Copies of this chain bind each other. A is one copy, B any other.
Amino acid sequence: MRKTRPGGRTARTRALVFAAVEALLEEKDPGAISMVEIAGKAGVAATSLYRRWGDARSLLTEVAVGALTREAPLPDTGSLREDLRAWARTIAATLSDPQKSIFFRVYVGAVPRSDKEAVGRARALRTRLQQIDAMLERARMRGEVNLNPLEVTDHLLAPLYMRALFGAPADADFAEGLVDYLLQGDHGAYVNVADVS
């Protein structure tokens, strides 16, 4: 006998609620969004939200994680440099709209409340890390430079996202410059992906 009923109504409610939260994030501060407000926009009873998510903060982070992990697949142009350049340009363009970095803000703004929660947050990003790994593996197979995913996150993603958080400009040229910078660095010290998973 099943313990939960994830299909049908449950899924529909979840979709309605998530859409409502994303809509509300367009128009106001995450901290100013209440359960009652979400319930109203979603056409759902507020008590349902309290039962399923406990509080607004949990719901908000779940929505943020969802948004961050349903990003487009990584480029596959046949050249690592071009893959990275295309991806970096996309990120820079996306983050240039302050509204788009809101999910990221919500994610990092929420302090992990427990080890269990911290693990869940990390797992949410592991998929993306694996996609990066696949892209790098393709490059290795082609005999191109041997990079590891953490080098990409440290030297390509970190500067882009950090600039977004601080409101510093990051245009396409800057994004491509990071790629060039990354591809000429010393890649001696290999750090295992397991460290971050």
| Chain A residues within 8 Å of B, Cβ to Cβ | 29-32, 57, 98, 102, 105-106, 108-113, 118, 121-122, 125, 150, 153-155, 157-159, 161-163, 165-169, 174, 177-178, 180-181, 184-186, 189, 191, 195-196
* Cβ 8 A contact of A122, one of B29, B167, B189: B167
| Oligomeric state, in copies | 2
> In whole angstroms, how far apart are the Cα atoms of A180 and B30 in the complex?
39
Nearest B-chain residue to A30, judged by Cβ: B111
> In whole angstroms, how far apart are the Cα atoms of A151 and B158 in the complex?
13
Contacts of A154 in B (CB 8 A): 159, 162-163, 178
CB-based contact B113/A29 at 8 Å: yes
Contacts of A110 in B (CB 8 A): 31, 109
CB-based contact B168/A162 at 8 Å: no
In the complex where A111-B102, A111-B105 touch, is A168 in contact with B184 (Cβ < 8 A)? no
Min Cβ gap A21→B in Å is: 15
CB-based contact A31/B31 at 8 Å: yes
> In whole angstroms, how far apart are the Cα atoms of A106 and B158 in the complex?
18
Min Cβ gap A114→B in Å is: 11
Contacts of A98 in B (CB 8 A): 111-112
CB-based contact B121/A167 at 8 Å: yes
Nearest B-chain residue to A174, judged by Cβ: B191
CB-based contact B161/A162 at 8 Å: yes
* Cβ 8 A contact of A162, one of B153, B178, B189: B153
CB-based contact B196/A166 at 8 Å: yes
Min Cβ gap A166→B in Å is: 7
Contacts of A168 in B (CB 8 A): 150, 195-196
* Cβ 8 A contact of A111, one of B29, B122, B159, B166: B29
